[in-house]
Structure 1
Amino acid sequence: MEKPNFYPRIKRLHEDAADRDLLKMPNNTNGQSSTLASFIWRNADDLWGDFRHTEFGKIILPFTLLRRLECVLEPTREQALETVADLADQDIDLGVVLRQITGYPFYNTSNYTLGTLGATRTRQNLEDYIAKFSDNARVIFEQFDFANTIARMDKQGVLYRICQNFADTDLHPDTVPERVMSNIYEHLIRRFGAEVNEAAEDFMTPRDVVHLAIELLLDPDDELFVSNPGLIRTLYDPTCGTGGFLSDGMEHVQSLRDRYSIAPVVVPHGQELEPETHAVCLAGMLLKTLESDPGRDLSQNIKLGSTLSNDQYSNERFHYCISNPPFGKKWDKDQDAVVREHSEKKFEGRFGPKLPRVSDGSMLFLLHLISKLETPERGGGRAAIVLSGSPLFNGNAGQGESEIRRFLLENDYVEAIIALPTEIFFRTGIGTYIWILSNKKDDARQGKVQLIDATSLYTQMRKSEGNKKRAISGEQTRQIVDAYSAFEPTDTSKIFDYEEFGYRRVKVLRPLRMKIVITEDGFDSLDTDKAWNKLSDTQKEAWTSTLIAHAGQEHEYDWLESFAKSAAKKNASLGKVGKPLIKALVGAFGVRDSDADPVLDGKGDIVPDDSLTDFESVPLSTSIEGYMESEVLPWADDAYVDKSYRDDQDDDVGVVGYEISFNRYFYQYQPPRDLHVIDADLKAVEADIAVLLEEVTE
């Protein structure tokens, strides 16, 4: 089947890039255009002095949402009010009728708008206005605690002015498309994020990353959409924020509308922790409709609460899942619930493998998404998740992070991992990665993992936004998606058997080789030993006298124990000789000697030297014996493997671990510069220093 034309989608990405640089919104008052920045600061200027800077966001953001909803209802407002008056005395569900009139799953029955509140009873009228929204819209303002904000604004005398400012701004979707509004919300939350969500922009996903992740997630099923007109699929984001991923996913399939008689449908679902960002997402979903079910209230699909400890979709699965969990955020607040689910449900729950350290919960979301994928029997599912670099390699073999990677790789859930450019997020310049997960891999991808190095695919931004200095353009998005779809090895796309990321962490021991030498330093170290200090002063003196007679003499390791026991039998003042005392004496007077014979225990087994214990990572494709022969024994011919150190799952020698190192697979050797070039640079620097010194001494 011919691959669909991607021009409409690429064009949309170009438009988004332009919107990021300059978001223009017509101003109905003066007929001129004003940028988003001037729109925000016009209100900020009016608030300055009466409110702290950190409070601006909780005022401006809900007013923006209110005006957006108002603009949508404006064309049907008069008809809605007339209907309310006509049906006032009838026993009929007004909500059903009003939703049909507005064409949206919400409505308002107040006679007021932002422009008609009046200057004398502004607060009372605005409260009436908000109270007469349908429940699903009113909850948005409740989550902002907007009633208290209104009261404060009224007290400070700025409420009417702010209402008028917003009343003069057209935010109707026909004027300000959804993608532009998403940028506005993003800007507001980042600009005034301190009070909405501490360090909010840490967790905001830039629009270019949103587009890329959605394209990677949905692009492989475009042919499925072509073959099944009107196909309905579900999309789920457990950390949905303002709903950027969900909105973009819906736009993806809507862009297919021009090519197919019946466009596919993506039904969004999400959960968000922060009430304010949850409210923004609710507002966005109230304005969306499904062609197959136009009366459906999609805002009901957006839940509030912590996904890790309060999964509100616990019994549901989805065709597509997507997430950008916060990087490096502790999950201590969810710890009790997560640990309980892990211990009680094991692999029947979400967190079957060992758990990661509490300092970073991002890998818990990897497991959560896997649990949410539609079952293979029902067509399977695919997920995309944006993560920092640490989930690729943190944790040793047997620890939680490695065990999670093991679970994902050995169950063949990982399709691809894409390394993104640095400096593309707002408050961090670190490297980030998109993981593509699936439980319905194509035959060619079975047992394989594709790594894509897209770190060089970026466009330098004309103006930095915090740490975000780079963006991924539409063409670059297409390049990355094409590389993923092609599934072919290139310089920037490499394909591996999943076992190539695995290894066995083998414990390597060396024999203890030691002699006994009675020295003054040894007596000094005895003074800090617990077993020695439990002796009485009389016993200490007796032992000192007994041992000092052998000062400077070298003895075999096993001489000390037999000597001590024999001496104790002859001299009662020495007391009983137990293992703790023998250990203390050996620790004080034992001297390692590489030429000494290995120490043997009572059973004749070699006693290992704990100070020489080491661990080796043996690739799963290599035998432990072969690895030891080539990599260890040439340098330590007495080394041997501790066969008691075994894996909990397969009980073989060595603990299995997995890690994924992009640098190892994509490293390109850069030869050093010629010496004469380096010398010339040094001379040039010296000349510059000389000139500066002359200026200082003049």
Structure 2
Amino acid sequence: MSVLSSFVWSVADTLRGPYAEAEYGSVILPFTVLRRLECVMAPHRDVMAEIVAQYPGEQQRRTHLKLKTRTADSAGLSFWTTSDYTLKKALQDPNNLSENLIDYVGGFSANLDVFKSFDFENVIRTLDARERLAQVTRHFEKLDLSPDTVSNADMGDLFENLIYRFAESANDGAGQFYTPRDVVRLLVDLVYAEDTEALRGRGTVRSIYDPTVGTGGMLTVADEHLRGLNPDASTALFGQEINPRTYAICKADLLITGQDASNVRQGDTLVVDRFEDRRFDYVLSNPPFGTDWKAVEAEVKNEHARGGQGRFAPGLPAVGDAAMLFLLHVASKMRDVDESGRGGKAGIVLNGSPLFNGGAGSGPSGIRGHMLENDLVEAIVALPNDMFYNTGIATYLWVLSNAKPAERKGRVQLIDATGLGSKLRKSIGSKRVEVADKDREAIVRAFAGAQNDGDDVTVLAKIFENRDFAYWTVTVERPLQLRFECTPQTIVAVAEHKTLGQIAGLTEALESFGDEPYLNREKFNRELGKHLGDHGVQLTTAQRKTLWQTIGVHDETADICLYTSGVRKGEPEPDPALRDTENVPFGWGEHPKTHEALEETVQAYFDAEVKPHVDNAWIDWDKTKTGYEIPFTRHFYTYEPPRPLEEIDADLERVVGEIMELLREVEG
């Protein structure tokens, strides 16, 4: 593949000069698509011409062409061209090469509109004007991209490798459209793992959908894997893609494999779901890492506001990271559970932040709560670092299901595969590690609950109940106790205050009040108020509150400040500076892991863990929030004791000796 990709990309030598490096991809990608289509059509050009001449309608041509070109290994062609040109034939009339190629591309059937996304006619004319058209055309005419030489899967690899090179040369987020094939195969294996026997059945029909489809790599691998299990299986592939170039490549690729081209649609999945009324057997996605959703903020928030009718009703993440929006979308696209108990499954690639970002009551926590409380998370797999082309950060595969087997209901499996992975001989961008076949098989066995005896790989798997990841965040209050003194320091603080400092006569009145300490707020306010009145200083209620807040300092020997009005009149007033929170896990102290056990669990925790240390504290129940967090790394943390002191001392002595020796050499 690297040899083929390098050969295709070598046409860049021809473009160098008239084209900037960032423009190479706009030429290479559409010509690669055209040559692939040409090689696929080559054995069928006579049949194609016959059917085009015999049938005037698009649907008639599509139906008859597919029947006439169907083989045991191919579903048949569903596209054609009315043009007699090929790259070779177009080159035979060099004076009209540009027009010949435009005629060639313009002759494709209406369902093959991908060259519009490349603005290919303009590409051809620009190449001609810059005197590079003939050289580029000859380069691709020599390229053998026939299905016998390059399989659909290899062609997908080629397209994505070219896109990676294109993005890298343009310094445009290289790798954001490129999901490594080892990651795709692992994700597909995990999603199919529990359905293997069912997929081998006769008459198997499955739909597979990718909302961030890119060039269609995930769909291709999923389709080939399913056909490997059952050659007679029927698949329907669906995808949505925002980028016009990758959309065009995906559409062409699916057409070649006999899929319905109308099942690939362009658009931003977060703004509009092009398959709003459909659900699928399998959903696969690798959304871009760390991208914001500022550009679609209004649309997303409007859908969130629709409540239960919107994909994003459970919550919204921070605008800086759209990952959890894609997670919600993927979950919403799994097919409903039917009368036989079969539902939908999904796999999505995410970074670490969806596991833990956002505290109790936040949007991300609410999304995790939605996924866990509805029993949608089946497993999460931690991958080795350096697996992706554009990032070396920790990545995770989430496996979702709305119809878990009985033994998995109410549970989540965490699989730590960070110890796996083989070093690449040559890194590709940030990708330095791949998951080999043996590693992938070990992970799938761990997912299935099988032992890995005899393997030379390490996979750790643990099972948790859904509510092992739920907790309550409880607000613990302590009473407000203040000492009031009109010292020079506190008077300066009042004078420098942006509001109090503007009140005429206030500073002078405070200076004459005296510096006697007051341990009771009501007494201080009463006597100070009288003193200020005698000096002609009148304060509003808000100003009086600001004044005692500025002068007062915490003192545990002072009287507790009480509310003087409202429903809480006579109750202790909390000190915001001493306010604290405690996270109480569901099930603490062997209490039930239920929402109804909130009060008894929290009270027991408070009595055991807080009250003995802070006797006058209390719980503000109105501020209690429910949160969800999946602390993956904490569950797989292995303690490594520090080195013995003797060993550290020996190293220090050795280093000091080396330094002294170097100093003696310098002095000598």
1:341-380 equivalences in 2 (<5 Å): 341-344=303-306, 346-377=307-338, 379-380=342-343
Task: Say if 1:250 and 1:265, in contact at 8 Å, map to a contact too.
Answer: no
Q: Offset of 1:690 from its aligned partner? A: 5.0
Distance in 1, matches of 2:87 and 2:67, equals 24
1:488-637 equivalences in 2 (<5 Å): 492-535=460-503, 537=504, 539-540=505-506, 544-545=508-509, 547-571=511-535, 573-575=536-538, 577-602=539-564, 603-622=569-588, 623-637=601-615
Alignment-derived partner of residue 441 in structure 1: 404
Task: Say if 1:523 and 1:588, in contact at 8 Å, map to a contact too.
Answer: no
| Partner SS state of residue 441, structure 1 | coil
Task: Say if 1:256 and 1:263, in contact at 8 Å, map to a contact too.
Answer: no
1:246-285 equivalences in 2 (<5 Å): 246-257=219-230, 263-285=232-254
Distance in 1, matches of 2:159 and 2:171, equals 13
- 1:177 counterpart letter in structure 2: S
- 2:147 counterpart letter in structure 1: P
Distance in 2, matches of 1:195 and 1:468, equals 17
Alignment-derived partner of residue 145 in structure 1: 119
- 1:126 counterpart letter in structure 2: L
Alignment-derived partner of residue 591 in structure 2: none
Alignment-derived partner of residue 637 in structure 2: 667
Distance in 1, matches of 2:110 and 2:215, equals 19
1:147-296 equivalences in 2 (<5 Å): 147-193=121-167, 198-226=172-200, 228-257=201-230, 263-289=232-258
Alignment-derived partner of residue 387 in structure 2: 424
Query: Identity over the aligned pairs, expressed in percent?
Result: 40
- 1:129 counterpart letter in structure 2: Y
Alignment deviations for residues 140-199 of structure 1 (CA, whole Å, 9 cap, x no partner): 111011111111110111111111111111001110112221221111111111688931
- 1:481 counterpart letter in structure 2: V
Task: Say if 1:529 and 1:584, in contact at 8 Å, map to a contact too.
Answer: no
| Partner SS state of residue 170, structure 1 | coil
Q: 1:83 to 1:580 in 2, by over 3 A?
A: closer
Alignment deviations for residues 344-392 of structure 1 (CA, whole Å, 9 cap, x no partner): 2x12221121211111111111111221111113521111110000000
Q: Offset of 1:131 from its aligned partner? A: 0.6
Q: Offset of 1:685 from its aligned partner? A: 3.6
- 1:361 counterpart letter in structure 2: A
Q: Offset of 1:217 from its aligned partner? A: 0.6
Task: Say if 2:380 and 2:415, in contact at 8 Å, map to a contact too.
Answer: yes
| Partner SS state of residue 99, structure 2 | helix
Equivalent of 2:42 in 63, 74, 84: 74
Equivalent of 1:126 in 83, 101, 116: 101
271-280 vs 487-496, greater mean Cα deviation: 487-496
Distance in 2, matches of 1:271 and 1:248, equals 17
Task: Say if 2:491 and 2:511, in contact at 8 Å, map to a contact too.
Answer: no
| Partner SS state of residue 413, structure 2 | strand
Distance in 2, matches of 1:353 and 1:92, equals 43
Task: Say if 1:488 and 1:495, in contact at 8 Å, map to a contact too.
Answer: no
Equivalent of 1:107 in 80, 103, 106: 80
Task: Say if 2:337 and 2:343, in contact at 8 Å, map to a contact too.
Answer: yes
Distance in 1, matches of 2:575 and 2:242, equals 52
Distance in 2, matches of 1:197 and 1:331, equals 21
Q: 1:196 to 1:466 in 2, by over 3 A?
A: closer
Distance in 1, matches of 2:656 and 2:177, equals 46
Q: 1:634 to 1:203 in 2, by over 3 A?
A: farther
Task: Say if 1:278 and 1:304, in contact at 8 Å, map to a contact too.
Answer: yes
Task: Say if 2:382 and 2:397, in contact at 8 Å, map to a contact too.
Answer: yes
Alignment deviations for residues 544-565 of structure 1 (CA, whole Å, 9 cap, x no partner): 2355331254453322211133
62-71 vs 101-110, greater mean Cα deviation: 101-110
User: So what's the TM-score if we normalise by structure 1?
Assistant: 0.87
Q: Offset of 1:93 from its aligned partner? A: 4.9
Distance in 2, matches of 1:655 and 1:370, equals 25
Alignment deviations for residues 461-500 of structure 1 (CA, whole Å, 9 cap, x no partner): 1111111000001111111111111178997111011111
Distance in 2, matches of 1:392 and 1:89, equals 56
Task: Say if 1:196 and 1:276, in contact at 8 Å, map to a contact too.
Answer: no
Q: 1:211 to 1:479 in 2, by over 3 A?
A: same
Task: Say if 1:531 and 1:580, in contact at 8 Å, map to a contact too.
Answer: no
| Partner SS state of residue 496, structure 2 | coil
Alignment deviations for residues 551-583 of structure 1 (CA, whole Å, 9 cap, x no partner): 254453322211133235545x223x4322222
- 1:540 counterpart letter in structure 2: L
Task: Say if 1:240 and 1:323, in contact at 8 Å, map to a contact too.
Answer: yes
Q: Offset of 1:679 from its aligned partner? A: 2.7
209-218 vs 670-679, greater mean Cα deviation: 670-679
Alignment deviations for residues 657-692 of structure 1 (CA, whole Å, 9 cap, x no partner): 000111211011111122222233334444554566
Q: 1:387 to 1:454 in 2, by over 3 A?
A: same
1:292-303 equivalences in 2 (<5 Å): 297-303=259-265
Distance in 2, matches of 1:693 and 1:182, equals 61
Distance in 1, matches of 2:233 and 2:378, equals 24
91-100 vs 268-277, greater mean Cα deviation: 91-100
Task: Say if 1:288 and 1:298, in contact at 8 Å, map to a contact too.
Answer: no
Q: 1:273 to 1:390 in 2, by over 3 A?
A: same
Distance in 2, matches of 1:92 and 1:366, equals 37
Q: 1:60 to 1:684 in 2, by over 3 A?
A: farther
Q: 1:300 to 1:197 in 2, by over 3 A?
A: farther
Equivalent of 1:326 in 281, 288, 298: 288
- 2:361 counterpart letter in structure 1: G
- 1:362 counterpart letter in structure 2: A
Q: Offset of 1:239 from its aligned partner? A: 0.5
1:88-107 equivalences in 2 (<5 Å): 93-102=60-69, 103-107=76-80
Distance in 2, matches of 1:667 and 1:692, equals 42
Q: Offset of 1:595 from its aligned partner? A: 2.3
Task: Say if 1:516 and 1:560, in contact at 8 Å, map to a contact too.
Answer: yes
196-205 vs 355-364, greater mean Cα deviation: 196-205
Alignment-derived partner of residue 413 in structure 1: 376
Q: Offset of 1:591 from its aligned partner? A: 2.0
| Partner SS state of residue 480, structure 2 | coil
Q: Say what the alpha-carbon RMSD is for the aligned residues.
A: 2.4
Q: Offset of 1:136 from its aligned partner? A: 2.1
Task: Say if 1:235 and 1:269, in contact at 8 Å, map to a contact too.
Answer: yes
Alignment-derived partner of residue 293 in structure 1: none
Pair 1:401 & 2:364 matched? yes
| Partner SS state of residue 192, structure 1 | helix
- 2:559 counterpart letter in structure 1: D
Q: 1:694 to 1:429 in 2, by over 3 A?
A: farther
Task: Say if 2:486 and 2:510, in contact at 8 Å, map to a contact too.
Answer: no
Pair 1:340 & 2:302 matched? yes
Equivalent of 2:617 in 636, 639, 651: 639
